Amino acid sequence: MAEVFRTFGLRLGALIWLLVGVWVIGLVVAPFAGLVARSLVTIETRPVEAGLELRHIADDLASARRDWERATDPERRAELDRRIRLLTDRERWTMRQTSEPSAEPNLANYADPAGVRSRALLTTLGLSLLITAVALVACWPLAWAAALASRRARVPLLLVALVLPYGLLEPLRLHAWDLVLSPTGPDGLGSAWSMLPAMIHSGAIFMILPIFAALVRFDRRLIDTARDLGASHSRIHARIVLPQAAPGLAVGAAATFLFSFGSLAVPWIMTHDRGSDDFALLLWQRVATTADEGIAAAYAVSATAASLFAAVLLFRLFGLRLCDVTPWRCRP
């Protein structure tokens, strides 16, 4: 604390602490605390009248969406868009009218009797780790190429290898999402596999930049020296280069993992929880309707906890403690 003021002076130091505080409280503590609090509240719906009303609305919504899919006339589409919006609002309103929060906080939202949710979570974790592993293998040579390139060649290389795919990929990735989420598209695992390459592609930037940063500072003379002492290239890689790049690898792996986990989790969990064919509808219901906010919050909390746990495991895998890559000092 005092260090910041010593380095930046009173005014700039205060500003830095203020911004850090806004970040930590506004973007980390408050949302997460809110999520946890919300996940402990269950919504009780008065079953008879609400159920009937909601089912009518859901039927109307489904038929409107089907019509929208078939419609070719833009005017007709616009009309249906308007109808869908009205129906969604109506659905939300009905939910709110016919339901009330539980009096006592409880863990009912975390209940997972059929194990569907934990399976979905594990699958998501596995898939994210797979994406991370593939991205790591794919990015390692690329990061080396960029790090070894002359200063002049580096910029075009990074531009072509990183920025262009990343920039171009948003539409591509959207298309993959579209395939997965569209009501008429393939469903289940198959569609999820189809978006993996796109996910790896997008996640790669989180992988390559930390590795590049670690390698670009790499002292080439370490390699010269090791070679001079008679070490083979593979030994040099295993004993000198990889340990040296471990912090970059750990940060890259954790970032890629968290990115893919975050991107995957939503449709994945949504899809599997109900096994519905129509998961676009399901997704919107879950996210947009008041009634399921508690369960959505429970999803978010368990997903965050699981991903953080996995990220720490990744760090350990690269022989790093959290303190190696954070300002906290490691105990000897």
Partner 1 sequence: MYGKDVRSKSLSVVHGDTVALHPTDLDIAAGEFFSVLGPTGAGKSSLLRTVGGFLAPTLGRVMIGGVDVTDLPPDRRPTVTIFSDPALFPRMSVTDNVAFGLEARGVPRPTRRARAAELLDLVGLPRIGDRRPADLDAADRSGVALARALAVEPAVLLLDEWLSTVASDRRRDLRAALNAIRRSTGITVLAIGDDHAAALAHSDRVAVMNAGRIEQADTPDRLYGRPTSTFVARFVGEQNVLAGRIVEVRGDRIAVETAVGRLSATAQGRVTAGDVVEVLIRPERLLLEHDRADRGHADVDPEGWNRLRGDLVGRSVEGATIVHDFVVADVHLRMNRPNLGPRELLIASLHAIGFHADDALAFPVASSRGGDG
Q: Which residues bind partner 1 (CB under 8 A)?
A: 219, 221-222, 224-232, 235, 239-240, 243-244, 246
Cα 110 to Cα 113, 134, 299: the distances in Å are 9, 32, 8
Closest CB to partner 1 among residues 163, 317: 317
Number of other CB atoms surrounding residue 151 within 10 Å? 6
Closest CB to partner 1 among residues 244, 276: 244
Yes or no: say if 263 and 206 are a contact pair by the CB < 8 Å rule.
no
Chain centre to alpha carbon of residue 46: 35
Closest CB to partner 1 among residues 12, 222: 222
Length of the chain: 332
Q: In the bound complex, what is the minimum distance in angstroms from residue 313's beta carbon to partner 1?
A: 21
Closest CB to partner 1 among residues 170, 224: 224
Closest CB to partner 1 among residues 102, 244: 244
Yes or no: say if 294 and 107 are a contact pair by the CB < 8 Å rule.
no
Q: In the bound complex, what is the minimum distance in angstroms from residue 237's beta carbon to partner 1?
A: 13
Taking CB atoms within 8 Å and a gap of at least 24, the contacts of 120-124 are: 120/268, 120/269, 120/271, 120/272, 120/273, 121/265, 121/269, 121/302, 121/303, 121/306, 123/268, 123/272, 124/261, 124/264, 124/265, 124/268, 124/269, 124/303
